[in-house]
Structure 1
Amino acid sequence: MATHNVVVPKPMEQSIDELVNTGRYQNFSEVVRAGIRMLLEHEAADAARLEALRNATSLGIMQVEAGQYEDVDPANLATYLDNLARPAGDKA
């Protein structure tokens, strides 16, 4: 396993020390590894959300180009959106 030096600001160092002193982590390295794992999970979740948005956007564009959409009067937009949120058999 590679060894690296990490410089952290004083408030972060105090937080790490508290995590170690409470027994949640054995040492500084465990805290850093946990933080990196969380960062990687967060980055993966962001990438998945971005991919889902790209897919939804592509689908929406294809539907518009194929004429598969409804024109909605802006004055009725709130009602239209409320109806979309209701179960299929419960439309107003």
Structure 2
Amino acid sequence: MPTRNVVLTKRQEELIETLVESGRYQNASEVLRDGLRLVEQRAAEDASKLKALRAAARVGVAALDRGEFKEFETAEDLHAYLNDFSEKIISRTSE
């Protein structure tokens, strides 16, 4: 396996030592590999969220293009509409 030199903060060094001393990891390399797996997992989750957001944006823009939207005079009107809408949804799911 290739080796790398890394520069750690004092806090990071202490964290690695604590994790190894706890017995959870056998050495610092295991700690760092696990950390890299978490970074990889987070990147995959972020990519998935971004894909879902882009799909939702396309749906929204298409609805706007078709004229499927509602306009409100005030923020209070919007708030009242959303409250009514959520009540309808809640009553449907509780049936």
- Place the TM-score, normalised by the shorter chain, in its bin: 0.7 to 0.9
Residue of structure 2 in register with 1:63 after alignment: 63
Under a length normalisation based on structure 1, what TM-score does the superposition of the two structures give? 0.85
How many corresponding residue pairs?
91
Q: Are 1:78 and 2:79 matched, yes or no?
A: yes
**Identity value in percent:** 37
Deviation by residue 1:22-78 (Cα, 9 ceiling, x = unmatched)? 011110000000100011111111111111111111110110001122223423111
**Structure 1 unaligned spans of 5+:** none
1:1-92, aligned counterparts within 5 Å? Answer: 1-74=1-74, 75-88=76-89, 90=91
**Structure 2 unaligned spans of 5+:** none
Under a length normalisation based on structure 2, what TM-score does the superposition of the two structures give? 0.83
Bigger mean CA deviation after superposition, 20-29 or 1-10? 1-10
